Amino acid sequence: MKPDTLPIHIVDDDASVREALLYLLQSLGYDAQTWPDGRSFLDGADIGKGGVVILDIRMPHLSGQELYQLLIEAKSTLAVIILTGHADVPMAVEMLKKGVVDFLQKPVALAQMDVALENALAQAERNLLCCRLRSLYASLSPREKQVTELVLQGKTNRMIADELYIAVRTVEVQRASAMQKMQVDNLPEFVRAVNQACMKP
């Protein structure tokens, strides 16, 4: 077992497929939770915690597409892999545009699944990070956000002070506070963190 990995969810209405996929994932060194349909997944899983979902498309009650739509609306950080028996190109394009990590067709090969999982886990990590940074960014005061914005534009403390009609000292204090809140030590990290936080997931 890879100790530091995020949780993996398998949502498929076919029990045999669920079990086999779990076996495959376990062979690859992952663990996963299985869900028979979208409804029970939404009710039972912690979708805010981050992780990867392997979704079937054709399922009763909620189709894979509808479930994914709900996840988007809930601003979930989960990375999604679609694994379907009846893939068609328009659907795949649409789903990829919406942000799924991979669109796989059953029966999927181990190697393919391995790559997809690695990508998805990385994506999930990014999502989580992004989510964390965004909440950090959200904790900045309006003045701190103003200063941060100008810092990102490459302006010096003096230029910012002039622009905002405040003292240079005040700018320095605000800037240090913001960097502390964003949990960074230097300017490059600060710029990257703020950029990631403002990006759409």
Partner 1 sequence: MKFSCRHFFRILLLLWLAAYSGMLSAKTWYVGILAPRGVQAAQQEWQPWLNWLSTQWENETFILVPMQLADAEQMIADKRVNFVLAPQAQFLSMKTGVEMRWLATLNRMDMAQPKAAELVGSAVWVRKDSGLQDIAQLRGKTIAAVQENAFGGFLLGYKLLYDAQLRENRDYSLVFTGYPIDQTLLLLDRKQVDAAIAPLCLMEEMQSRGVLDSAQFQLLHPVNNHSACAGSTELFPNWSLAALPDVPDSLATRLGSLLLQNQADVLLPGWSPVVASTRVEEILHSIYRHPFQQSVWAGIKNWVNEYKTWVGITLLLVALSFLNYAWVSWLAWRRQKQITQAYEQMRTYERMMMHADRLNILGEMASGIAHEVNQPVSVIRHYAEGTRYRLQKQQTHTELIPVLDKVIEQVERITQIIENLRKWAKSERNDQSVPVNIAQAVAKSVQFVRLQNDRHPMNIHINIPADLVLLTVPSVIEQVLVNSLLNCWQQQATQVDMSIRYFEEPFLGITIADNAGGFSQEQLEFPFVPFRTNKDQGLGLGLVICERLMRVIGGSLLLDNRSDGIAGAVVTLKLPLKKHSDPKGVKASS
What is the Cβ-side half-sphere exposure of residue 162, based on CA atoms within 13 angstroms? 5
24 to 43: interface string for partner 1, x by CB under 8 A: x-xxx---------------
Q: What is the rounded distance in angstroms from the CA atom of residue 116 to the CA atom of residue 104?
A: 9
Helix axes 142-152, 187-198, angle to 10 degrees: 110
The yes or no reply on residue 44 touching partner 1 (CB under 8 A) is: no
Binding segment (CB under 8 A) for partner 1, from list 12-20, 135-143, 147-155, 187-195 = 12-20
Q: Which of 100, 108, 147, 197 binds partner 1 (CB under 8 A)?
A: 108
The yes or no reply on residue 94 touching partner 1 (CB under 8 A) is: no
Q: Which is nearer to partner 1, 12 or 144 (CB)?
A: 12
DSSP 119: H
Q: What are phi and psi of 62, to 5 degrees?
A: -120, 125
9 bridge partner residues? 33, 53
Q: Which of 7, 17, 36, 166 binds partner 1 (CB under 8 A)?
A: 17
- Tokens 């495959």 belong to residue: 24
Binding residues for partner 1, rule: CB under 8 A, are 14, 16-17, 19-21, 23-24, 26-28, 58, 60, 85-86, 106-110
